Structure 1
Amino acid sequence: MSILILMVVQMAFSPDTALPLPTAALYAKLTATAVFWGGTFVAGRALAGQLDPLASATGRFGIAVLCLLVLTRCVEGGLPRLTLSQLGLTLGLGLTGVVSYNLFFFAALTEMPASRTALFVAFNPISVTVVMAVLGQERMTLRQVAGILVALFGALVVISKGDLLQVSMHFGRGEAYMCGAVLSWVGYTVIGRSAMRQLSALAATTYAALWGFAILAGALLWSMYWSGHGPAPQGLRLDVAAALFYLAIGGTVVPFVWYSEGIRALGAGRAAVFNNLVPCAGVLLGFVILNEPLTAAMLAGGGVVILGVALTNRG
């Protein structure tokens, strides 16, 4: 089974992906990426209570690194040597998109349902647009400012569970963790824009996963040393192993490379627009698989957020 999966993934990352992709094929990959990432909230919720955030993130990228190394060897003949500049960029990718994002991500899922957590991803495209404007890479129009305000209003509806006068009462640790995850992903996207000018999507993703896994594994060993025991429960359950495997392959290897291709071909802002689909996928999968409730505030607020994001990134 693992050999079959590797063959399918290798076909997806054939050498032709180094060439400019047809628009339809690229959009299809970015859309599939959003759906795969929507599934990570369900898989991450399955790990909540079974593994702590550090162990979950380390397990996810331990599997992903092995797959990426084999894939890079098969597709590109191995990893290229890095210049000092490339070393700094890939390390930045690992720190933001692997280490900090995943620690915040898994921590949030221990506090909130998967569907509610997924809605916070709608902040990603707007945050990228704002940061790119602050850095002087893009100019913000009045339409974009209006879109950001609309999206923020929708987010407040979601966070407050429909009671806008009591926003602070509904903003807990889980919501704070997801804000940290959003900021981490913005950093990954912005840094990725520079990294993709110098490295292939597969090489950049592999190096980012390597640096991130090394940091996570070191931190896990350190915590095990001081606590005197490992964080994993005895006898890893089948559902936990399946969730880790999905997070590694369906949530990391395939979508990370495809997202990097999107950044390289479209730029950071336009690639980030496809993150609008992640909350929709996460909410629907949480409802179907985990039987999580769909509240009116979630549907209304999520719709307003997506409307604001679409207005911000229109054109």
Structure 2
Amino acid sequence: MTHIYAKLVGSAVLWGGTWVAGRLLGTYMGPFSAAFLRFALASVFLYFLTARIEGRFPRLARQDLPWLLTLAATGIFAYNALFFAGLRTVPAGRAALIVASIPSVVALFSGLLFRETFAPLKIAGIVVSFAGVGLIVSGGDPLALLAKGLSSGDLCIFGCVAAWAAYTLAGKKAMERIAPYSAVTWSCILGALMLLPPALFMGLSRDVANAGPVAWGLIAFFGILATGFGFSWYYEGVKALGPTKAGVFINLVPVVAVFLGWLVLDEPLSRALALGGLLVLLGVWLTNRRRPSERRVLPSGR
């Protein structure tokens, strides 16, 4: 079982590294070029991985197409275009901590859309998480934020939160009929196709011609390591430990991003960033904490 925990930690480290890698890659090419190349490479990797795991690569069923297009449009196209655009101006650690609030956003909209109950603990978690985001974005000075407003980079990162929350909520329904690896692989393929036209329009050919070894190394990190191995290791953990235990490791992602941002990019670690990050993670923990009565009804082995 040790190797499963190692793979879960590894996936969190790889995903945390994407924030620093995205910040660096943004200096070499535009957001649509970076996003397309990432998922073009990831699609090839995941195609062969899915075929090996499931025995063959599953065909695209017509009745599943609307769900897969929704996943591709939100989690691949919108999220990654906004991700690379935002990281051109927003520090990696700050962006990662804002995006760490996604579970609280998902919990909020799950309650509103699917009429899930809002337990007091969940409400408290959502409020605490949002307070942490406010502290991070304002730098500890809410009045200055009200006076200046959000930057375009911050708006892009908040767009990432909205896009991934939509992807998660759509995936909740999609996974009822589509196997996880198939859903991820097809959404990557369809998302890459969606990203191609704007990438071509925004200078993909120029970016490819000008990309040097560092840029291609970053793209390989995104496509093969972070997307390919990151997803496969995480799903192995979900299969072995269950989604609840495996999901705990996601909380390592912003911590790794902040540390690598400081180590690699020399990003400052302010008190507001540290306290805001702690509030976000505390809020996420409270949001997803189960009451004793909820734990008792879980199947054994979870």
Match of 1:106 in 2: 84
**Do the aligned partners of 1:132 and 1:138 also contact (CA within 8 Å) in 2?**
yes
Name the structure 2 match of 1:215.
194
Instruction: Please show how residues 1-315 of structure 1 align to structure 2 within 5 Å.
Output: 29-136=7-114, 138-168=116-146, 169=148, 171-224=150-203, 230-232=205-207, 234-258=209-233, 274-315=249-290
The residue identity in structure 2 corresponding to 1:209 is C
Q: How many residues align?
A: 288
Distance 1:149 1:180, change over 3 A: same
Q: CA deviation at 1:185?
A: 0.8
CA distance in 1, matches of 2:44, 2:61: 23
Question: Which has the higher mean CA deviation after the structures are superposed, 75-84 or 98-107?
Answer: 75-84
| Partner secondary structure for residue 140 of structure 2 | coil
**TM-score with structure 2 setting the length:** 0.86
Deviations 1:126-170 (A, max 9, x none): 011112111226311111111111111111111111112222326
- Cα distance in 1 for residues equivalent to 2:232 and 2:26: 26
**Offset at residue 243 of structure 1 (A):** 0.8
Q: 1:273 to 1:192 in 2, by over 3 A?
A: farther
Q: What's the % identity of the aligned pairs?
A: 36
The CA deviation at 1:246 is: 0.6
Distance, in Å, in 2 between the alignment partners of 1:258 and 1:196 is 18
Q: Residues 166 and 116 from structure 1, CA distance in 2 versus in 1: closer, same or farther, beyond 3 angstroms?
A: same
The SS at the match of 2:48 is helix
3-state SS of 1:167 partner: helix
**Displacement of 1:274:** 4.6
1:10 corresponds to which residue? none
Give, in whole Å, the separation in 2 of the partners of 1:162 and 1:62: 40
Deviations 1:179-216 (A, max 9, x none): 11011111221222222222322211110111001111
Q: Secondary structure at the match of 2:205?
A: coil
In the other structure, the counterpart of 1:8 is: none
Q: CA–CA distance in 2 between the matches of 1:236 and 1:276? A: 33
Gaps of 5+ in 2: 291-302
Which letter maps to 1:66? V
RMSD after superposition: 2.6
8 Å Cα contact 1:73/1:79 also seen in 2:
yes
